[in-house]
Amino acid sequence: MQQINGVICNAITFFNRNNEIIKNLNSLLIRHILTNDANALLLFGSMGDRPLFSSKIEEKIKLIDIAMELTAKKIPILVGIYGADADEIIQQIENLGKNFDELNYMIPPPISENLSSEGIRSYFENILGSINPRNQIYLYNNPLQFVKNEIEPNWLKKLTEFPNLRGLNDSFYNIKICKSYLRLMNENFSVFCGVEENSQNFFQLIPLNQRKYSGIVSSISNLVNMCSKIYYYAVNDNLLELLQLQEQINDIRAKIYDIKTEEGKERRGLIYAFLHLYGELISKTDEEVNFITSKLQTEIDPISKERIEATVNYLLHNKQIYQLYSIGRKDLYQFQDIIETFSKIDILVQQGKVRKITGPYRSDINTIYKVKFENSQLVFRFRTSKFFQFENLVKQKLLFPFLDKTLTPHDLNLREKVKAIINSKTGAYIFDKEKPPIIPVSNLIYYDETKEVIPYIFSAQEYIRGKPLFQLINKYINEGKNLNTKKFINIFENLGEHLGNLHTIKFESFFRSISNIGKNKKVSYPEYFNNQLETELQEAKKNKIDFGIEIRDYFRDNKALIEEENEFVLLHNDFHSQNVIVKEDQGLINLNGLVDFDDWCVGSRAQDFIKIDYLILKPLNLPSFYDAFYNAYSKYYEIDNNFKKTIEIHKLLWLLSEYNFESELKRKAHQIDLTSRTSASLENYLFEIQAIIR
């Protein structure tokens, strides 16, 4: 067996209300620990709630199995074995030894009865002499925790003659005794510091050429990668860096562990930090997660929670935590995994080395990452939603040729060209500088629909600098600043112009599915609209909307406006402030780009007014914004009362559709994460529907 040194992570253990191992959380934790450079893993140590599992051999085996599979023998695994007498310890080791050949064990003196020095020595001799020599043993000295039972250096040397005794973990409460332990260190016997806040002092007691036989048993390494750097600085004798890093670690410990309830504060602080770090991956509808979270809510005060969250975010930003990257809910990638995954794609290799990955940023449809390369910044969008309702393809690949007029609605071979684009499973679309798009969008650097690289379709587009318009608006509102200024009015004027420009791309028919563009349509638009309406009304009846007759009467009274629609345009179909990227600079707000065309289609231009009106213009209630947007658009199309009424008709159908969709999600709440869905949205939709029809 390999000698253990470096960072031994004293792993926390996730268990449910029945004290049973929670596989998904422990698997995620172990992968995180491995990603953050631990050299060995200690299970069921002081952080692993060892008293709960002393007699639960099945649960111990379950967690060890998980660790064995994930570590793939790349790093050693130690298991804490605690008991009141030697026979109990021997039995535990033999039980585990039947299932695992290559485990290491960490054993303290008896945990409940204070013995004489000779009694402790006899206790260990009995254990070491009775177990299989292949079972490697590390002793654990912590008199303050184990009823003052101390491992004395004068007889420890004699115990080292047992070939399966490979080291000792010392609590470092007595420097003189620790120095005596250190004299025993060699290639066959390691000494660990069990108190990570004293690691720097511990390493300085060891001659430089002996430090390679030492290590630290660390709890904070459940979270951060800094302990590996402590060991690196120690073996390379970088004393200044060692001192500075120790101070940083102690500061982080204070922030993570400073919880008002003293007992178990380290474990609770780490669990809360870990759940915050991977909140995106851990389903809030998971009963076991809810059990842990609800306990933490009562055990940790609000101020401590905020401090822990802020600390984790800071450590992530400064790369003192390496986070696993998720694409979807199940697939996890380390930083190096992602680099290797995309290293065979030439156009991505041309971007240079990967410098930084931030995310995931989740939407209803995609999992999104921002990746900083040596030569560029790209936004990766992975289609991970199971609920995407329309074409499962990268829709920008067909959109962009229309935006620079490489493809036009009146092309003689439009259908053949559309089919060729749709059938292309990999590629890119880079705009020619001499032939820019008619609205501000970024280049499509690469797309892949094969699902061969990863099990999702994905795309990489140039990053547009700035932030969504709604974030800037919220910032001004929160700071009490005036929104009704020329710079914001200009933005809404720009939005009207861009939407008008987009709608200059006109088709002879509507195409809800872009895959059908160029086909000869057999269904008229009024017929399509009525079919959609009937479907939503039937669904609304199931959802107990009790004014369906009034809705039907409203549409019947206004059907002439739908029947008169005979001009169909290219629609963004999700046109609102979340998909408008702006950047404030020197007192000006620049509109840098439009994003998220996952729902684009061809249809009534009125559809593109729904969301910007419902989600931004109406809530802000600033006539100057409304006038700026509509006046700019009116350069392209006349805004009269009939058109405003047409917008209202389409809005009512959209509200009905959203109400039904939200109701369906509410019914499936036990299956999916609904953190962004609330019953308030259902009430809002009902209110708006009633306001229109009455």
Per-residue confidence (pLDDT) for residue 678, from 0 to 100: 41
pLDDT: which is higher, 664 or 628:
628
- pLDDT confidence tier of residue 679, bands split at 50, 70 and 90: very low
* 339 occurs within a structural domain: no
Among 266, 287, 318, residue at a domain's last position:
266
Report the DSSP beta bridge partners of residue 78.
42, 104
Cβ atoms of 325 and 336 closer than 8 Å: no
- Gyration radius from the chain CA atoms: 32
Distance in angstroms (rounded) separating the CA atoms of residues 311 and 317: 10
Using DSSP, state whether 464 is helix, strand or coil. Answer: coil
What are the E-state strand segments in 406-555? 426-429, 444-448, 458-462, 467-468, 506-507
Per-residue confidence (pLDDT) for residue 51, from 0 to 100: 66
CB atoms within 10 A of CB 635: 11
Among 462, 482, 510, residue at a domain's last position:
462
Distance in angstroms (rounded) separating the CA atoms of residues 159 and 120: 12
Average pLDDT over residues 278-300: 77
168: Cβ contacts below 8 Å, ≥ 6 apart: 138, 139, 140, 141, 151, 156, 181, 189, 190, 191, 192
Question: Which H helix or E strand runs over 80?
Answer: strand 77-80
How far are the Cα atoms of 69, 169, 213 from residue 79, in angstroms, in the given order? 15, 13, 20
- With a cut of 50, say whether residue 644 has pLDDT above it: yes
Q: What is the pLDDT of residues 464-510, one digit of tens each?
A: 999 999 999 999 999 999 999 999 999 999 999 999 999 999 999 99
Per-residue confidence (pLDDT) for residue 645, from 0 to 100: 95
Least confident of 44-58, 80-94, 302-316: 44-58
* pTM, entire model: 0.72
* 281 occurs within a structural domain: no
Sheet containing strand 377-383, edge to edge, reads 354-362, 366-373, 377-383, 458-462, 444-448, 426-429
Q: The domain spanning residue 546 has which CATH number?
A: 3.90.1200.10
Q: What is the largest CA-CA distance in the chain?
A: 100
Among 266, 293, 316, residue at a domain's last position:
266
Q: What is the pLDDT of residues 374-392, one digit of tens each?
A: 999 999 999 887 666 668 8
CB atoms within 10 A of CB 546: 8
Q: The domain spanning residue 218 has which CATH number?
A: 3.20.20.70
- Looking at the fold, whether 448 and 559 belong to one and the same domain comes out as no
Per-residue confidence (pLDDT) for residue 574, from 0 to 100: 94
Average pLDDT over residues 274-287: 78
How far are the Cα atoms of 227, 337, 448, 527 from residue 508, in angstroms, in the given order? 66, 48, 31, 16
- Looking at the fold, whether 568 and 421 belong to one and the same domain comes out as no
Q: How far, in whole angstroms, is CA 309 from its chain's centroid? A: 14
**In the block, which residue shows the tokens 């609209």?**
529
- pLDDT confidence tier of residue 665, bands split at 50, 70 and 90: low
Query: Token pair for residue 104?
Result: 């290491």
pLDDT: which is higher, 130 or 339:
130
pLDDT: which is higher, 233 or 2:
233
Q: What is the pLDDT of residues 103-116, one digit of tens each?
A: 999 999 998 888 89
Residue of 672, 655, 688, 616 whose CA lies nearest to 283: 672
- Looking at the fold, whether 159 and 121 belong to one and the same domain comes out as yes
Cβ atoms of 234 and 246 closer than 8 Å: no
* 350 occurs within a structural domain: no
**DSSP conformation class of 682:** H
Question: Which H helix or E strand runs over 218?
Answer: strand 214-218
- pLDDT confidence tier of residue 676, bands split at 50, 70 and 90: very low
% of the chain exceeding 70 in pLDDT: 94
In the chain, the number of structural domains is: 3
Per-residue confidence (pLDDT) for residue 263, from 0 to 100: 72
Cβ atoms of 285 and 324 closer than 8 Å: no
Query: Token pair for residue 613?
Result: 């009106």
Q: Does the CA dihedral 217-223-227-228 come out positive or negative?
A: positive
Question: Which H helix or E strand runs over 637?
Answer: none
- pLDDT confidence tier of residue 688, bands split at 50, 70 and 90: confident
- Looking at the fold, whether 487 and 557 belong to one and the same domain comes out as yes
Average pLDDT over residues 133-147: 89
Per-residue confidence (pLDDT) for residue 329, from 0 to 100: 59
- Looking at the fold, whether 413 and 559 belong to one and the same domain comes out as no
* 77 occurs within a structural domain: yes
Distance in angstroms (rounded) separating the CA atoms of residues 169 and 152: 13
Using DSSP, state whether 354 is helix, strand or coil. Answer: strand
Per-residue confidence (pLDDT) for residue 558, from 0 to 100: 92
- Looking at the fold, whether 527 and 392 belong to one and the same domain comes out as no
- Looking at the fold, whether 261 and 235 belong to one and the same domain comes out as yes
Q: What is the pLDDT of residues 328-376, one digit of tens each?
A: 656 677 777 777 888 888 898 999 988 888 877 766 788 888 999 999 9
Residue of 189, 291, 270 whose CA lies nearest to 224: 270
- Looking at the fold, whether 75 and 201 belong to one and the same domain comes out as yes
Q: Write the DSSP assignment of 357-381 as a string of letters.
A: EEEEEE-SSEEEEEEEESS-EEEEE
Q: What is the pLDDT of residues 565-594, one digit of tens each?
A: 989 999 999 999 999 999 998 889 999 999
Per-residue confidence (pLDDT) for residue 286, from 0 to 100: 72
- pLDDT confidence tier of residue 674, bands split at 50, 70 and 90: very low
Cβ atoms of 551 and 652 closer than 8 Å: yes
Per-residue confidence (pLDDT) for residue 677, from 0 to 100: 41
Query: Token pair for residue 617?
Result: 């213009």
- Looking at the fold, whether 498 and 429 belong to one and the same domain comes out as no
- With a cut of 70, say whether residue 526 has pLDDT above it: yes
Q: What is the pLDDT of residues 196-232, one digit of tens each?
A: 999 999 999 999 999 999 999 999 999 999 999 999 9
* 306 occurs within a structural domain: no
Average pLDDT over residues 127-150: 90
* 342 occurs within a structural domain: no
- Tell me the average pLDDT of the chain: 89
- Its domain, for residue 401, covers 368-462
* 311 occurs within a structural domain: no
Per-residue confidence (pLDDT) for residue 675, from 0 to 100: 38
- Looking at the fold, whether 233 and 250 belong to one and the same domain comes out as yes
- Looking at the fold, whether 511 and 408 belong to one and the same domain comes out as no
- Looking at the fold, whether 471 and 456 belong to one and the same domain comes out as no
* 111 occurs within a structural domain: yes
Cβ atoms of 260 and 302 closer than 8 Å: no
Distance in angstroms (rounded) separating the CA atoms of residues 421 and 643: 34
